[in-house]
Amino acid sequence: MSLNGRVALVTGGSGGIGAALCRALGAEGARVAVGYHDRTELAESIAQEVGGVAVPADLIVPRGPELLLEQVRESLGEVDILVANHGVAHRASFDEVDAGAWDETLAVNLRAPFLLAQQVIPHMKAQGWGRILFMSSVAAFTGGIVGPHYAASKAGLIGLTHHLASRVAEAGITVNALAPALIEHTDMLPGDPGYLARAIPVGRLGQPEEIADMATAMIRNAYMTSKVVSLDGGMHPR
């Protein structure tokens, strides 16, 4: 299935995994909006490389998703492919996480993906085609090492995937999630790469391109929906 000419919004496009997602979707012919928060220069250079646009927004605020989508609409049109990939991972043990830290992580990692999906679905329904992909994590299954707030936010995306998928499937919209483990060349690695690799059965960290490759296959496929695909070098189950 060709993605040629489809408008794809990749949030967190300035990050390690996001940049690879933007390149992969750009290579499929999609018109890519590179969502970002702080790193303007990086986002703009990725947008230039893939022939897309860079769109800033702070997705911690409730109106962030709406403001982001307004910019995408103005520059590229309605979103056909949403890859809600952005995220924060502030490492803290369960006894350190207070209500503020909990709310911030859940707002960025879970509320924003939901609001983005909610706001792109009407257009996807109207045209009878759409793709939504959430970026979960192996932490949703194992608890992980970042913290309870992070694990809960990533597990929440799985429930969200299943809830939405069955409600929009008839309209030609697929809703899936990817659950990576430790991925190299990202700012999110919770420790030394060499040390972390020892926890992974395949003996190495994952590459952003490996995530992007799987994401693209999932987006191309019209029959895969309500699925969570783990890309974790065998971390779970083991």
* Smaller CB separation from ligand NAP, 130 or 144: 144
Q: Pick from 30, 108, 116, 212: which binds ligand NAP (CB under 6 A)? A: 108
Dihedral sign of CA atoms 109, 114, 120, 124 in order: positive
Q: Pairing mode, if any, of strands 130-135 and 173-180?
A: parallel
Query: Is 59 among the residues that bind ligand NAP (CB under 6 A)?
Result: yes
x/- contact string, 8-47, with ligand NAP (CB under 6 A)? ----x-xxxxx-----------------xxxx--------
Q: Pick from 10, 188, 229, 235: which binds ligand NAP (CB under 6 A)? A: 188
**Site residue total, ligand NAP (CB under 6 A):** 30
Whole-number Cα distances in Å, 172 to 1, 60, 96, 107, 125: 13, 30, 43, 28, 7
> Where does this chain touch ligand NAP (CB under 6 A) — which range of 2-10, 125-133, 166-174, 178-186?
178-186
Query: Is 89 among the residues that bind ligand NAP (CB under 6 A)?
Result: yes
Query: Is 180 among the residues that bind ligand NAP (CB under 6 A)?
Result: yes
The CB-of-126 to ligand NAP minimum distance in angstroms stands at: 27
The CB-of-127 to ligand NAP minimum distance in angstroms stands at: 26
- The residue whose Cβ lies closest to ligand NAP is 15
Task: Decide: 131 and 140 in contact? Cβ < 8 Å.
Answer: no
Q: Pick from 3, 69, 165, 183: which binds ligand NAP (CB under 6 A)? A: 183
* Helical axes 112-127 vs 64-75, angle rounded to 10°: 40
Query: Is 160 among the residues that bind ligand NAP (CB under 6 A)?
Result: no
Choose, from 36, 150, 195, 223, the residue flagged as catalytic: 150
**Helices marked H in the chain — which ranges?**
16-27, 40-50, 64-75, 99-106, 112-127, 139-142, 148-168, 193-197, 208-220
Task: Round to whole Å and give the CA distance between 204 and 51.
Answer: 32
Is 223 a catalytic site residue? no
Peptide bond before 237: cis, by omega within 30 degrees of 0? Answer: yes
* Smaller CB separation from ligand NAP, 33 or 108: 108
Query: What is the SS3 assignment for 31?
Result: strand
Query: Is 115 among the residues that bind ligand NAP (CB under 6 A)?
Result: no
Task: Round to whole Å and give the CA distance between 141 and 238.
Answer: 12
- Footprint of ligand NAP on this chain (CB under 6 A)? 12, 14-18, 36-39, 57-60, 85-89, 108, 135, 137, 180-183, 186-189
Catalytic residues: 150
